[in-house]
Amino acid sequence: MNCLYESFYDTVTLQRLVRTLEQEAAINQRIAASDPLNADAIFQRLPILAECNESDGIRQALAEVLARVQGEWDYIACSAAIRDISMLGAALVRFEREPEECVAGFSDVLLALSEQVGAHIPRDSFIDYTSRNPPGARERTFTAMPQEKIFLKSLRLGMSALDLCLIHLLTACTFPIASQEFAFAMHTATASFQAMITAIVQVKREITPEAFTHYIRPFFEPFRVAGRAFSAPSGAEMSILNIDQILWGADCADELYETYFRANIIRLPVIYQEISQAMVGQKSLLTLLKERMELGSALNREERRSIQEIHQLLTRMYTFRVPHYKVAEENVLLRQRECGGGQEIRGSSGFGLVETRYVLDQTIRCRRFTAEILSSINTE
Ligand code: HEM
């Protein structure tokens, strides 16, 4: 069977997942709007407390908000509370104070709240710092630095771009690759990804490695909950994980990738985990293309168009990942230099540059393959 002529995936499941994912932005907005701990005023003060090394003030603020937690909150309120408690905990860690050791109830509250929302980890993740962080005057930041605002703005932009990209990519997969509908949805997915490039270009231009490494990164260290360390939010928890999985990861058995994927996907909201489950055991789009090329017969117009569109998406991802890798590397090198070298430096996820390089290399490999197909068509 030539699988490019039928949708390879379970169309009904994918359509249901797309509908659920489309509702995620509204859920995030409700969480951003929510302030169940009455912590808005505390977050106005947090950057000043941190700048003045007032770790005791932060400890008191954390104790205050913990005392306001109630048992019967809904998903929205619990999620907003996890965001705020975790940010205050992370601010304490910046001053080398372990929150569970200096604020009574810290671990118990986080464990209870995360159980109520069905989370796999008892702390915040990347979505809390970005899409679930209120915009405007209520925005939660660790510092008063304009660079952190730029960082956050870029990440917010990237988060929503990736969600749109994923929605269109999943929609594409409900159609056969050899169809106009697939190519059209893929084209829209690629257009949505563009904002990731805008985001990294802005960060690269406006945030020096020194500004990030010295002032922002220290707030992204692990803290302990019930004696176990949980890493801080990181870019590795973006829905680009799902996009890679659909393009090339679903049937990739590299141990490095599997470990990285498993560790990070569980930190995303449940819909992203469901999408990843729907892809388990499936062939990735790149494998489907390989199988099609092995048939040896000429590609029809729809197939050529779809391959061009997949190539375009890979090109956009490559255009994001090259400068992003450079930014990440510059920060790691600076930290290495300042630590006196020799020491292995990890990102806030607990993974290092190896994984970031790996996903870039996979993008390059896949893009080379689609480029080869396209150049063979042009020389026919
Ligand atoms: C100063 C700016 C930045 C630095 C220093 C930085 C650094 C890093 C590091 C070290 C990692 C490895 C995982 C980890 O954190 O443990 C990573 C991963 C990642 N970051 Fe960033 N990052 C920055 C800005 C951004 C921005 C603006 C975006 C998107 C809008 C972004 C998106 C990602 C993604 C998607 C990953 C996972 C790897 C991939 O899929 O390519 N990062 N980043």
Q: How far is the CA of 236 from the centre of ligand 1 (A)?
A: 7
CA atoms of 221 and 252, how far apart (whole Å): 30
Residue-wise pLDDT tens digits, 170-203:
999 999 999 999 999 999 999 999 999 999 999 9
Nearest-atom number in ligand 1 for the CA of 236 is 37
Per-block average pLDDT, block size 10, for the chain (380 residues)? 66 96 98 98 98 98 96 95 98 98 97 97 98 97 98 98 98 96 98 98 97 97 97 97 98 97 97 96 96 94 97 98 97 89 76 94 98 85
The burial of 153, by beta-carbon neighbours within 10 Å (0-12 exposed, 13-18 middle, 19 or more buried), is given as middle
Contact 102, 60 (CB under 8 A): no
Distance 345 CA to ligand 1 centre (A): 14
What is the torsion angle, in degrees rounded to the nearest 10, for the CA atoms of residue 348, residue 351, residue 355 and residue 357? 50
- Does ligand 1 lie within 6 Å of residue 165's CB atom? no
Gap between the Cα atoms of 309 and 341, Å rounded: 43
For the chain, what is the domain count? 1
249 CB within 6 A, ligand 1: no
- How far, in Å, CA of 139 to CA of 53, rounded? 21
Q: What is the pLDDT of residue 5?
A: 64
203 CB under 6 A from ligand 1? yes
Residue 39 per-residue DSSP state? -
pLDDT for the residue numbered 89? 98
pTM score, whole prediction: 0.96
Which of the listed residues 265, 329, 356 should we mutate to test ligand 1's pocket, taking the one with most ligand atoms within 8 A of CB?
A: 356
Integer Cα distance of 107 and 186 in angstroms = 44
Question: Which atom in ligand 1 lies closest to the alpha carbon of residue 155?
Answer: 30
Ligand 1 close to Cβ of residue 126 (< 6 A): no
* Model pLDDT, residue 339: 84
- Look at ligand 1, atom 33, and give the residue with the nearest C-alpha: 235
Residue 238, ligand 1, Cβ within 6 A: yes
**Ligand 1 atom closest to residue 356's alpha carbon, by position in its atom list:** 38
The C-alpha atoms of residue 313 and residue 191 are separated, in whole angstroms, by 8
Which ligand 1 atom sits closest to the C-alpha of 234?
15
Q: Is 216 in the pocket of ligand 1 (CB under 6 A)?
A: no
Structural domain boundaries, residue 289 = 3-378
116-140 pLDDT, tens digit each: 999 999 999 999 999 999 999 999 9
275 lines ligand 1 (CB under 6 A): no
331's CB contacts (< 8 A; 6+ apart) are 209, 212, 213, 217
Specify the pLDDT at position 348. 80
Q: What is the pLDDT of residue 1?
A: 39
What does the pLDDT read at residue 352?
80
**Cβ(345) to ligand 1 under 6 A?**
no
Encoded tokens for 42 = 């505390």
Q: Ligand 1 centroid vs 63 CA: distance in angstroms?
A: 32
324, 346, 360, 362, best to mutate for ligand 1 pocket (most atoms within 8 Å of CB): 324
Tokens of 328: 């990440």
Q: Decide: 154 in ligand 1 pocket, CB within 6 A.
A: yes
Q: How many CB atoms lie within 10 A of CB 98?
A: 15
Q: State residue 225 phi and psi, 5-degree precision.
A: -130, 120
Cα(170)–Cα(11) distance, integer angstroms: 9
- CA of 376 from ligand 1 middle (Å) equals 35
Tokens standing for residue 195? 């904002």
235 lines ligand 1 (CB under 6 A): yes
Spatial CA neighbour of 68 closest among 77, 58, 57, 56: 77
CA 355–ligand 1 middle distance (angstroms): 11
Q: Whose CA is nearest to atom 1 of ligand 1?
A: 212
- Cα 360 to averaged position of ligand 1 atoms, centre (Å): 12
Structure tokens at 376: 């063979």
Provide DSSP, 235-300.
GGGSTHHHHHIIIIITT---HHHHHHHHHHHTTS-HHHHHHHHHHTTSPPHHHHHHHHHHH-PPP-
Give the domain CATH number at 156.
1.20.58.480
